[in-house]
């Protein structure tokens, strides 16, 4: 916790969340990430019940929705602690993609949709997924979509092909981005529609292997065919044609959550790296940590993680005060910067562990595989760098 960004609420909560992560989750994390999902889920359900009983559930939600009413700056700092173990966010019901869907529905869904989908999601009775990216179109330009939702009577008929729908396996519903008005301008063509996963025509064709790991349940990324899926018109979230605007709303806080989670991973990898450097003997009394290259990696990692944390909290603080639109460039900056710090720190930690680093005997290889996506999802590095550079160059008349 950074004292500069601390509040009384956070000072009280931070040690409780830290104790929960260290005492309840660290001892079982290997079992959770390497076991079959149904077994992991059963164990996680116990941990979730404990988190609820300790009053740590859905900390980001307003108090009248059963949360702890934290600001982004406060939640960001808890998110770092939760990120130190792969299912920390899940244990407190603040995992992506559900957290993004909850925030979106909380703000824009009708009372009927809230009752049917949002409240069970907040209670942790069901999971959800977010289905936007399509294999046939460049996902980094989200106005390009082939999926359509055509109005027939009082229903939408949805047809399309999606992939990388994270956690669709076992989810109760998907929020699907589909073109509802092909004649409208690129930013007003698509809408977000809730499709329950038991709707006829919702076909999860496979969980996509990620660097050889197919995963399952919450820990998976699905390819999905939507074939004449019929849902009521009332399953629309927000206004028709507002899909692009809603996607932007969803992504701002989401990127800050990811960045703080990545800093948690960095801290854990850094700790493993330092422990290994201090205990691995190369020859009589000469430890790995005596080597200057290793010392450089330790110092560079420390500086980069510290810098990343301040940048993220600064962006979160701006978002709390001025909203996500005003903090757009700060959010773009941290998205590519922190993702790359994460890659560097993980790579150094793996290297310091030697062959052990690429086994499943530490958490490093799991993160090395699964966090490579950090530079791609929620906007690839190049897209964020282009936005930032364009805005800077504008001041130079370009
Ligand atoms: C782990 C993971 C989880 C995901 N979860 C979800 C999910 O739950 N729901 C969902 O809908 N999607 C999800 N996605 C998909 C993700 O949003 C897309 O992968 C992302 O938007 C990029 O789209 P693309 O893969 O089609 O790459 P493309 O758009 O084809 O881009 C490929 C590459 O081109 C380069 N590039 C792109 N645009 C530019 C540019 N303007 N300038 C320079 N270079 C550029 C970048 O290097 C980029 O990586 C997930 C992806 C990953 C990896």
- pLDDT tens for 71-116 read 999 999 999 999 999 999 999 999 999 999 999 999 999 999 999 9
Identify the pLDDT of residue 32.
93
Identify the pLDDT of residue 223.
98
Q: Per residue in 227-260, pLDDT tens?
A: 999 999 999 999 999 999 999 888 878 899 999 9
Three-class SS state of 273: helix
CA-CA distances (angstroms) from residue 112 to 117, 232, 281?
9, 12, 63
Average pLDDT over residues 109-127: 97
Q: For ligand 1, is residue 336 a contact (CB within 6 Å)? A: no
What class is the 3-95 domain? mainly alpha
pLDDT at 289 over 90: yes
Superfamily (CATH) of domain 244-394: Butyryl-CoA Dehydrogenase, subunit A, domain 3 (1.20.140.10)
Identify the pLDDT of residue 313.
96
Whole-number Å distance, alpha carbon 386 to ligand 1 midpoint, is 15
Least confident range of 149-153, 212-216, 252-256, 348-352: 252-256
Atom 24 in ligand 1: residue holding the nearest Cα: 139
- The distance of Cα 239 from the centroid of its chain, to the nearest Å, equals 25
Provide Rg for the chain, Cα atoms.
22
Confidence of residue 157 (pLDDT cuts 50, 70, 90): very high
Q: For ligand 1, is residue 138 a contact (CB within 6 Å)? A: yes
Identify the pLDDT of residue 4.
86
Q: Tell me which architecture the domain covering 128-241 has in CATH.
A: Beta Barrel (2.40)
Task: Please answer whether residues 261 and 79 qualify as being in contact, where contact means their C-beta atoms are separated by less than 8 angstroms.
Answer: yes
Atom 4 in ligand 1: residue holding the nearest Cα: 164
Ligand 1 atom at shortest distance from the alpha carbon of 378: 17
Identify the pLDDT of residue 64.
87
Percent of the chain with pLDDT over 70: 100
Q: For ligand 1, is residue 97 a contact (CB within 6 Å)? A: yes
Q: Per residue in 326-350, pLDDT tens?
A: 999 999 999 999 999 999 999 999 9
Measured distance CA(56)–CA(61) in Å, rounded? 11
Q: For ligand 1, is residue 123 a contact (CB within 6 Å)? A: no
Identify the pLDDT of residue 66.
85
Instruction: Supply 116's token pair.
Output: 């049917």
Identify the pLDDT of residue 252.
77
Q: What is the pTM of this model?
A: 0.96
Q: What per-residue string of b and e applies to 343-362 under the rule 16 or more CB within 10 Å gives b?
A: bbbbebbbebbeeebeeeeb
More confident residue, 20 or 3: 20
Q: Which residue has the tokens 């519903």?
A: 173
CA-CA distances (angstroms) from residue 295 to 58, 299, 363?
39, 6, 22
Q: Per residue in 37-83, pLDDT tens?
A: 999 999 999 999 999 999 999 999 999 888 999 999 999 999 999 99
Q: Which residue has the tokens 């962006």?
A: 315
Beta pairing class for 155-166 and 148-152? antiparallel
Residue among 168, 214, 247, 380 to mutate when testing ligand 1 (max atoms within 8 A of CB): 380
Least confident range of 139-143, 170-174, 317-321: 139-143
Please enumerate in sequence order all residues whose Cβ is within 8 A of that of 326, keeping only pairs 6 or more positions apart, or say none: 318, 319
Atom 53 in ligand 1: residue holding the nearest Cα: 373
pLDDT at 34 over 80: yes
Three-class SS state of 291: coil
Q: Domain residues of the chain, as ranges? A: 3-95, 128-241, 244-394
pLDDT at 351 over 80: yes
């Amino acid at each position: 916790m950074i004292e500069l960004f601390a509040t009384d609420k956070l000072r009280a909560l931070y040690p409780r969340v830290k104790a929960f992560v260290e005492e309840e989750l660290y001892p079982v994390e290997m079992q959770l990430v390497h076991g079959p999902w149904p077994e992991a889920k059963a164990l996680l359900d116990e941990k979730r019940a404990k988190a609820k009983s300790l009053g740590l559930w859905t900390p980001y939600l307003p108090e009248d929705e059963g949360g702890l009413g934290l600001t982004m700056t406060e939640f960001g700092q808890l998110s770092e602690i939760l990120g130190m173990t792969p299912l920390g966010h899940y244990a407190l019901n603040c995992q992506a993609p559900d957290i993004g869907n909850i925030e979106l529905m909380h703000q824009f869904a009708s009372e009927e949709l809230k009752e049917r989908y949002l409240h069970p999601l907040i209670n942790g009775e069901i999971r959800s997924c977010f289905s936007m990216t399509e294999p046939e179109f460049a996902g980094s330009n989200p106005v390009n979509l082939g999926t359509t939702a055509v109005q027939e009577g009082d229903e939408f008929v949805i047809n399309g092909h999606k992939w990388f729908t994270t956690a669709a396996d076992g989810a109760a519903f998907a929020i699907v981005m589909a073109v509802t008005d092909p004649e409208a301008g690129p930013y007003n063509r698509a809408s977000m529609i809730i499709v329950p996963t038991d709707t006829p025509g919702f076909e999860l064709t496979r969980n996509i292997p990620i660097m050889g790991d197919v995963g399952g349940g919450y820990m998976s990324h699905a390819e999905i065919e939507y074939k004449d899926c019929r849902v009521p018109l009332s399953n629309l979230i927000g206004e028709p044609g507002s899909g692009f605007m809603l996607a932007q709303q969803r992504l701002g806080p989401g990127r800050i959550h990811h960045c703080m989670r990545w800093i948690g991973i960095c801290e854990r990898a850094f700790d493993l790296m330092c422990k290994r450097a201090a205990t691995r003997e190369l020859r009589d009394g000469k430890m790995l940590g005596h080597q200057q290259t290793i010392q450089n990696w330790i110092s560079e990692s420390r500086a980069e993680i510290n810098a990343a944390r301040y940048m993220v909290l600064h962006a979160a603080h701006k978002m709390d005060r001025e909203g996500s639109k005003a903090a757009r460039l700060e959010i773009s900056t941290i998205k590519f910067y922190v993702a790359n710090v994460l890659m560097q720190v993980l790579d150094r930690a793996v290297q310091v562990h030697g062959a052990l680093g690429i086994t499943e005997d530490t958490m490093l290889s799991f993160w090395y595989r699964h966090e490579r996506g950090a530079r791609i999802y929620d906007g690839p590095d190049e897209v964020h760098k282009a936005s930032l550079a364009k805005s800077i160059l504008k001041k130079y008349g370009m």
